[in-house]
Chains A and B, each alone.
Chain A
């Protein structure tokens, strides 16, 4: 038997290369070409009066200095609106270089092509841009005020959306108790270690534009570039070899620099590279998470929720290239694992003079979960019922799947939970953290400390369509080549796709080589986001492997003169079931699958048309067959599959410094069948770390003029490993009935309930309400003083 690798904690094949510094990131590509340097707006809201670039041209090494007026063809158009939505009545996207107006600090204004980035920055200092600043609109209050971000968008409202299930007004009127909550969250960002990057080379001989791009979705880069440069798709090749994290930002193509590097490579017939630096990443890549929620909840004496009314405002920044995906996710994911017979959600998405907001790992679910879980905790406090018990009373039960929320999910399809077991998740995590033993532990808290505990649950729609594909080919040397169109930005695709193919095909894991995100290898793809890669590409490569297996058995059956139904593939050999002696190696089958005219090698000699006897009345390749032992497979789901989890945390808060220390952090996670527990746990660790970052360390500190005051890792406090506690993890495996492998997505999960659960634990420790995240010691200190005053 080939040892099964699905479900095993196999170490990542990527790591050896990456740890030794043998990765191939975009900035590693080429050095002889031009470097693109952008001049970015220092104003959040201003009219451009004039731009004088004359002195910059004189700097030695400068190839070109461009403003909006120099852009040719379709480069003068605003960047595309990637995902329209009926609620998005006033979509706005930015220009490649600002046209007359700038709307956030960091917006691209001038592009400099120079021999390197040093020269580019020297030249940038000589460009004089005259601005006429206007009042900046920063934050949700300002967005709802009189000043405008776009003169033609009244009230700064990009979208106004309402959805409902049941009858909320009636439910609230009839409810024995009604509570109101105001909850808000601030901005953060994914902060991938590698920023955005693109390296474009124009090969004038073969007329190909070759682009290595730090992207989660190479096909998007390809189609965007071809489209805007008005050249055939065929001439554009995009690949992402190694990508140092994406977290959503590297989905939003095209960025201005994607187009400018590609255009410059053709125009100047030299490779052009753009490597975003850290300051640029802070002020010109996407942010997320600023949202303010007003909640009204009605419930009965037992704490069962009868009606929930949510009205929230989403700060979408200056532009909306990715449509309304983020707030729509909050709207549909807010109910989580709970039954809400009457639920209404309204959101307004508003423009501000800040960096655009697009989904960042977790994609507006952290706010949804924060809203729902804070509401549950508040009801529990009001009725004096244990917080865990209150959750039990409201859960969707295991026998109620498929469970239709009655809403439309972000993929435009009904939100129907496919499977899950929420009560068991909760019981497991409570046991893990010893919830019942907490009062005893609390009584032993050292002096100068306060202890608290919290729990939070979530449901996450993953594995969204429309589709992904995969290709599997067995080489005559025995290696199995796998490719899929979406790119890896650290998820471990090379390992898990190899595991899947190895098992489906019956070959050792070590024989499988995976390439991701290369349009030269696989042209059709959507991308790596929305916790979809394993579900989508995983099932697609599994399908491709099954097709290859069928073909191999067909060919081997002829060669062995056996019935195909009697054959199996074990350890890379096609054989009569249970009889290894009667078999031929898969590599040999690959030889047979490709009749050749010339022989270059031993294997090729065996495959020449004169080698085998064959039926001389039949063509070497029969009608309906293709040469080669290969196949493409596809997976396209009817709708998303819903993963879930429960987190619990115990904290200690210092009475003198107001610092929050996490004593234990426990996760129980259900993403269906586990392909590789090690990788799933790694994803959860990373997610929880980002969640803790968002809860206790990070925010985008804009001043009222729209300057980001903490645009460096010195002031934006991304935590180090020293700030992240050990994360204890247990799994539940409720297979998804929607896909053959029974899997659900796991990439974002870890981050989702962290702000909710930490807020709960700190609230428990301090005894006053936590309605705002993140929570910094300085603010917690002020809150203590305020609450002390109130209670005096």
Chain B
């Protein structure tokens, strides 16, 4: 459980990081290292160069505007959790962060790192998907914006090019008549969820559902977004009820089985979490 030899490059700026990423063969960005280093220790990844962006001041900001929350690429999970600004602008961020790993891991792991890592079991992949957020990137050929819907291509596969790094992730704030909730089941405290759902429900002026959707984690190769609009628009969640939602979700989700959960159990659990997270939005 020791990595193969590699060279370590602490980047002095985003430009330098982009330059190194472009120049060096087989290079990877190192943020908190909480996902990358274990992979390297198992020799499942053996990059020749690591470009460390964790110390970059220009990536360390949390910016809150009228409509959005923007998190820089060196901001750790713990910093998001502790940010009153982010917490009051978008409570869902904090609710999700609390479900991620343990404090020691959150102290190093970054929010943008978990998006780049593109683990469909990662809470932030679901949050950015359900909110239709985006990431901004940098590279020697210039930056671009990638919408959440285009960010995840498969398990541990994002649509980032090899010469490109995420500089920030942006999450739209929720409107005044919009409620959100996160529910998941993990085998142990802080583990990746066996299944989970994050729901966002927008109500009209009559307190009836205007639109509702949920993103599911750990049920597919990428975060799975399900819209409840056909089922719920113009009604109330409690009037539609558990069994209809449960059956609808069971027919929508096609999860895999693994050591912790058979495919059937995971489908059942995801549907239950979908219901529970909707119910919490009532």
A residues apposed to B, CB below 8 Å: 117-118, 120-122, 125, 277-279, 656-659, 697, 701, 709-710, 712, 714-715, 717, 719-720, 722-723, 776-778, 781-782
B248-270 CB contact bits vs A (8 Å, 1 = yes)?
A: 00000000000111101110110
B188 touches A717 (CB 8 A): yes
| Closest residue on chain B to residue A723 by CB atoms | B188
Do B43 and A722 touch across chains, with their CB atoms under 8 A apart? no
Taking the complex as formed, is B189 at the interface, i.e. its CB lies under 8 A from any CB of chain A? yes
Would you call A715 and B265 a contact (CB within 8 A)? no
Render B34-53 as a binary contact track against A, CB cut-off 8 A, 1 for contact. 00001000110000000000
Q: How far is the CA of A118 from the CA of B41 in the complex (A)?
A: 10
Q: How far is the CA of A659 from the CA of B260 in the complex (A)?
A: 12
Q: Please measure, in the bound complex, the distance between the C-alpha atom of A715 and the C-alpha atom of B38, giving whole angstroms.
A: 13
User: How far, in whole Å, are A715 and B259 apart by their CA atoms in the complex?
Assistant: 8
Q: Is the CB of B259 within 8 A of A710?
A: yes
Using Cβ atoms and an 8 Å threshold, which residues of chain B touch A120?
2
Minimum distance in angstroms from A685 CB to a CB of chain B: 18
Q: Given A722-B190, A723-B188, A781-B265, are A117 and B259 also a contact pair (CB < 8 Å)?
A: no
Please indicate the chain A residues that have their CB under 8 angstroms from the CB of B194 in the complex. Answer: 777
B175 at the interface (CB under 8 A from A): no
Q: Are A719 and B2 in contact (CB under 8 A)?
A: no
**Do the beta carbons of A656 and B189 come within 8 Å of each other?**
no
**Smallest Cβ-Cβ distance to A701: which chain B residue:** B259
| Residues in B173-198 with C-beta less than 8 Å from chain A | 185, 187-191, 194
- Cβ contact within 8 Å between B5 and A782: no
Q: Is the interface on chain B under 10, 10 to 19, 20 to 34, or 35 or more residues?
A: 20 to 34
Beta-carbon contacts under 8 Å, B263-279 to A: 264-266, 268-269, 272, 276
Give me the interface of B with A, judged by CB distance under 8 Å.
Answer: 1-5, 38, 42-43, 185, 187-191, 194, 259-262, 264-266, 268-269, 272, 276
Instruction: Determine if B187 and A118 form an interchain contact, defined as CB atoms under 8 angstroms apart.
Output: no
Given contacts A279-B1, A715-B259, A778-B260, contact A720 B268 (CB under 8 A): no
Tell me which of B259, B260, B262, B268 has the highest count of chain A C-beta atoms within 10 A of its own C-beta.
Answer: B259
Given contacts A720-B188, A722-B189, contact A777 B265 (CB under 8 A): yes
B1 x A278 contact (CB < 8 A): yes
Which residues of the partner chain A approach B38 to less than 8 Å between Cβ atoms?
714
Q: What is the CA–CA distance of A715 and B192 in the complex, to the nearest angstrom?
A: 10
Q: How far is the CB of B246 from chain A (nearest CB, A)?
A: 10
* A-B pairs with beta carbons under 8 Å apart, 23 shown: A117-B2, A120-B2, A121-B2, A121-B43, A657-B185, A701-B259, A715-B259, A717-B187, A717-B188, A719-B188, A720-B189, A722-B189, A722-B190, A776-B260, A777-B194, A777-B261, A778-B262, A778-B265, A778-B266, A781-B262, A781-B265, A781-B268, A782-B264
Across the interface, do A782 and B265 meet the contact criterion of CB distance under 8 Å? Answer: yes
Add 16 more A-B contacts to A125-B4, A720-B189 (CB < 8 A): A118-B2, A125-B43, A279-B1, A279-B42, A657-B269, A657-B272, A658-B265, A715-B260, A717-B187, A719-B188, A722-B190, A776-B260, A777-B185, A777-B194, A781-B264, A781-B265
Interface centre among B2, B38, B185, B269 (most CB of A within 10 A): B2
Q: Cβ of B268: which chain A residues have Cβ within 8 Å of it?
A: 781
> Which chain A positions have C-beta within 8 A of B43?
121, 125
**A717: which B residues are within 8 A, CB to CB?**
187-188, 191, 260
- A658: which B residues are within 8 A, CB to CB? 265
Complex contacts, A777 vs chain B, CB 8 Å: 185, 187, 194, 261, 265
**Which residues from chain A contact B276 at a C-beta distance below 8 Å?**
656
| 7 tightest A-B CB contacts, nearest first | A722-B189, A778-B265, A277-B1, A656-B272, A118-B2, A781-B265, A778-B261
Give every chain B residue within 8 A of A781 (Cβ-Cβ): 262, 264-265, 268
Cα-based distance from A184 to B59 in the complex (angstroms): 55
Which residues of chain B are near A697, meaning CB under 8 Å?
187-188
Would you call A118 and B5 a contact (CB within 8 A)?
yes
Q: How far is the CA of A709 from the CA of B260 in the complex (A)?
A: 11
Contact status B262-A782, CB under 8 Å: yes
Contact A709 B259 (CB under 8 A): yes
Which A residue sits closest to B268, measured CB to CB?
A781
B5 cross-chain contacts in A, Cβ below 8 A: 118, 122
Q: Write out the residue numbers on chain B whose beta carbons fall within 8 Å of the beta carbon of A715.
A: 259-260
